[in-house]
Every structure is written in structure tokens, then in C-alpha cells.
């Protein structure tokens, strides 16, 4: 009897185990199917170009700074709706705060409705500005979402939407043709408003989507209608499109715009150094065995670099017909990240650091490796920067080529979009 009960109990337990295993496997397959379905449901196919335009057309606007005192016309650019509070993102050089007290900002939607707008905040160093549309209802606002620009890859399809030459609602298609570019500061020390732009802008997106005067401030979007950048500049020897355009990445927009809305300004982290990226020729001339790092030629008085006891160049040498100060510290690493050029420092500070943060520098001084810490300060305003301390390398070539008469091209540009924007494009 006991043996029968034991066998019966064992049989029962085996049966329960089998049922449980079968149920578990069925549940596992069900969950796997649900996960697969969820993944498939979140994977979106690229929109067709007509559908893409239809999705974003209500969000892209024309931004006009009406200058009643300028007989050559008003400054014209583009922008896009950022949130449901009426904030619109555009370029600093489209609105240029303080250029004329009589100026009036206007925002025009694709359907032709025009609204007045107030400047909320601006940042010249990032070439970004936030304006707020006045007396607009919420049903008129369709914000564009920002994508994560750090995930971009060269070759991805992009679309630029804006108002080139005042032609509203224009759309051009292209690809991401380069990443991590450095948009240089104005080589003349002046932008179109006559103020000093002393710092390059890092992490710039390069695109071959056609960008022309009037596109500035408009969105560069991906195939889902998300903003990956804001169209800012072109490289051209004529002042018009030549196949190379530049956009400020969306991650920079998100970081700067939030601060502009909250405080009206943005505080850029700052070291206070000027110098040159080491090329093989320069390294050989100053007696270095390898071309690596950033040579400090000058240090701004009172800057974090001076407080951290970084050393500037003290010996003047001629390199490529230009006098430079050598003998200064060479920055090899910042927070254990290799430095090969100034882009590496600027991109890291702008994307990862804030004013007051500490960074660790590895430097080469007198052929010996040294380590030091530095507390980042706030970048001075342009009017406090000596325009002669504008020694950054890797600039784009001057935009005043002689393949065409620059004066005729400039006059044609002015007649179409106004003097201020053409001054910017022709580096006047």
C-alpha cells in the first residue's frame, strides 16, 4: 500500500511539473511575442517627402526683424516652434538684439498670418536666440520635437525647411555629409552687427541639403520630422549655396534654449587659452617628436588657465609667414580624453561641462608630463574679449573668392534679402 501511494505521489508530481513547464513555455513565448510586437510598433518607417513636409509645415516660420530706418530692407530668416508657450527658436544673427531700438520682430506662418514677437534670450557664441510670439492661440502652435544629435551618422537623409530669399515654405533634401565640424569665428573680428565673435562653435553638422540666405534659423530635420539641427551658415566663395551647409546640433539647441527661456542667457564654460593644434611641420620646427596636442600660445589675464598656472609661449618663431609664441604648455588630454586639436577641447566643454566644473589636464611642459586640475569659469562677453586673441586653427577658407566680382554679388544679395544678412554671408 505504501509503495502504491509513493508511486502515485511521484506520478502526480511529475504530472504537475510537466503542466507547469508547458505553461511556463507558453507564457515565455507569449511574452516574447509581446516584446517583439512592441519593438515593431515603435520602429517607424521613414516618411515620404510630401508627408514629411505636411507634418512640419505648420511649425516652420519666417522671422523678420523689421528695420524702419534701413532703406535697404529688413533682416530675414527662419525659425521653428519650440513649445506650446509660443517660443520660437532661430539664429542670433537673424535677430541681432540691440542693433536698433526701433526694430520690430515679426513671425509669419506658412498660411500667411503674421504675429509680433518679443526677444526672450539670445546667445551670440552659439548663434541661437529664442523669441516669443505674442497674442497667439494654442491651436496655432505645433512644436517640433528635438532628436538626439549624438546618434547621427554620416549618410543619413535630412531635410532643410525654411525661407530662402524670402520664398516661404521651401524644402530641400540631402544627407549628413559631415559631423563634428568647427564653425569658425569671424575672421575679421566683426559679424554683420559690428560686434566681436571671438569663439568658434563646435560639434557642427555638415549637410549638402541646399541652404541659402533666408534659411538661417530654420530646422534641419530627420525622416521622422524631428529637429536634428538649426541651419546656420554656408561655405561659399560667392555668398550663395555651393553644396556645403552647416547646422547647430539639436543637443546644443536643447541645452542653450532651456537656459535662454529661463534666464535670458547662457553661460559657456571657459578656460582662457589661445593656441594652435600641432601639425607635423609645426611640431618639427619647435623640436617635438610627434604632432599631438594643443599648443598654448597665449593666456587671458585673470582666466581659469592663469589661475591654474598654465604657461603660455615665451619664444617667438615664424611659421608659414606668421609669428607665433612657442614654448608654452601643450595640452595632451582633458579628463583622460585625448586632445589632438582645439575642436576636442571645445566640443567636450560645450557638450559635457558647465561653469564651475573641474577638469583634469595632462600637459607637456619642458619635455615632461605634468598633471593639473582647473576649475572652469564663465566665458567673457564679446565686448571684453581682445579680438587679437583669435588664433584658433582649422578655419574655413575666406568667403571672398575672386571667381566672380564680389561687389556685384554682394549688391545682388542686398537687393534680395537686405544688407545685414549679406554682410554676414560676405564677411563684411
The Cα–Cα gap between 289 and 53 comes to 54
The Cα–Cα gap between 130 and 298 comes to 34
Active site residue 216: yes
Which of the residues 87, 93, 277, 423 is marked catalytic?
93
Counting beta carbons within 10 angstroms of the beta carbon of residue 221, is it exposed (0 to 12), middle (13 to 18) or buried (19 or more)? buried
Active site residue 11: no
Are 86 and 133 in contact, with CB atoms under 8 Å apart? Answer: yes
Using CA atoms, how far residue 410 sits from 148, 257, 424, in Å, is: 37, 32, 11
- Angle of helix 250-263 relative to helix 342-352, nearest 10 degrees, comes to 50
Are 325 and 297 in contact, with CB atoms under 8 Å apart? Answer: yes
Counting beta carbons within 10 angstroms of the beta carbon of residue 337, is it exposed (0 to 12), middle (13 to 18) or buried (19 or more)? middle
CA 55, 79, 406, 200 torsion-angle sign: negative
Which of the residues 168, 216, 298, 303 is marked catalytic?
216
The Cα–Cα gap between 216 and 292 comes to 36
The three cell numbers locating residue 102: 526701433
Contacts of 257 (CB under 8 A, 6+ apart): 82, 87, 89, 128, 130
Counting beta carbons within 10 angstroms of the beta carbon of residue 289, is it exposed (0 to 12), middle (13 to 18) or buried (19 or more)? exposed
Active site residue 93: yes
Which of the residues 103, 127, 343, 344 is marked catalytic?
127
Q: How many other C-beta atoms lie within 10 A of the C-beta of residue 424?
A: 22
How many helices (H) and strands (E) the chain has is answered by 9, 22
CA 150, 128, 205, 336 torsion-angle sign: negative
Task: Give the residue numbers marked as catalytic.
Answer: 93, 127, 216
Amino acid at each position: 500500500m505504501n509503495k502504491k501511494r509513493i508511486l502515485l505521489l511521484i506520478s502526480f508530481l511529475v504530472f504537475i511539473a510537466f503542466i507547469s513547464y508547458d505553461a511556463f513555455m507558453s507564457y515565455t513565448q507569449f511574452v516574447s511575442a509581446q516584446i517583439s510586437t512592441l519593438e515593431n510598433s515603435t520602429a517607424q518607417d521613414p516618411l515620404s517627402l510630401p508627408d514629411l513636409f505636411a507634418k512640419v509645415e505648420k511649425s516652420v516660420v519666417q522671422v523678420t526683424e523689421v528695420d524702419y530706418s534701413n532703406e535697404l530692407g529688413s533682416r530675414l530668416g527662419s525659425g521653428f516652434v519650440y513649445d506650446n508657450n509660443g517660443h520660437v527658436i532661430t539664429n542670433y544673427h537673424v535677430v541681432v538684439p540691440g542693433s536698433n531700438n526701433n526694430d520690430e520682430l515679426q513671425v509669419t506662418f506658412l498660411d500667411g498670418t503674421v504675429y509680433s514677437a518679443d526677444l526672450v534670450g539670445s546667445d551670440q557664441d552659439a548663434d541661437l536666440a529664442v523669441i516669443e510670439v505674442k497674442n497667439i492661440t494654442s491651436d496655432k502652435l505645433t512644436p517640433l520635437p528635438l532628436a538626439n544629435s549624438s546618434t547621427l551618422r554620416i549618410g543619413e537623409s535630412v531635410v532643410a525647411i525654411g525661407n530662402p530669399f524670402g520664398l516661404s515654405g521651401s524644402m530641400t533634401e540631402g544627407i549628413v555629409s559631415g559631423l563634428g565640424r568647427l564653425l569658425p569665428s569671424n575672421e575679421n573680428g566683426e559679424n554683420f552687427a559690428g560686434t566681436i565673435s571671438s569663439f568658434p562653435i563646435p560639434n557642427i553638422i555638415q549637410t549638402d541639403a541646399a541652404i541659402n540666405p533666408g534659411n538661417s534659423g530654420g530646422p534641419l530635420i530627420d525622416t521622422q520630422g524631428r529637429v536634428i539641427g538649426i541651419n546656420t551658415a554656408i561655405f561659399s566663395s560667392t555668398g550663395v549655396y555651393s553644396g556645403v551647409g552647416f547646422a547647430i546640433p539639436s543637443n546644443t539647441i536643447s541645452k542653450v534654449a532651456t537656459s535662454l527661456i529661463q534666464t535670458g542667457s547662457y553661460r559657456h564654460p571657459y578656460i582662457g587659452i589661445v593656441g594652435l593644434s600641432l601639425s607635423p611641420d609645426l611640431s618639427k620646427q619647435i623640436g617635438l617628436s610627434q604632432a599631438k596636442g594643443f599648443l598654448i600660445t597665449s593666456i587671458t589675464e585673470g582666466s581659469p588657465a592663469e589661475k591654474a598656472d598654465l604657461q603660455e609661449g615665451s619664444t617667438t618663431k615664424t611659421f608659414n609667414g606668421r609669428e607665433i609664441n612657442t614654448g608654452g604648455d601643450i595640452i595632451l588630454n582633458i579628463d583622460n580624453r585625448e586632445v589632438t586639436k582645439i575642436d576636442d577641447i571645445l566640443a567636450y566643454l560645450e557638450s559635457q561641462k558647465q561653469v564651475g566644473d573641474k577638469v583634469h589636464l595632462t600637459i607637456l611642459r619642458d619635455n615632461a608630463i605634468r598633471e593639473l586640475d582647473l576649475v572652469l569659469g564663465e566665458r567673457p562677453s564679446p565686448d571684453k574679449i581682445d579680438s587679437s586673441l583669435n588664433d584658433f586653427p582649422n578655419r574655413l577658407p575666406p568667403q571672398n573668392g575672386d571667381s566672380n566680382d564680389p561687389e556685384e554679388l554682394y549688391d545682388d544679395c542686398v537687393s534680395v534679402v537686405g544688407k545685414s544678412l549679406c554682410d554676414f554671408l560676405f564677411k563684411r
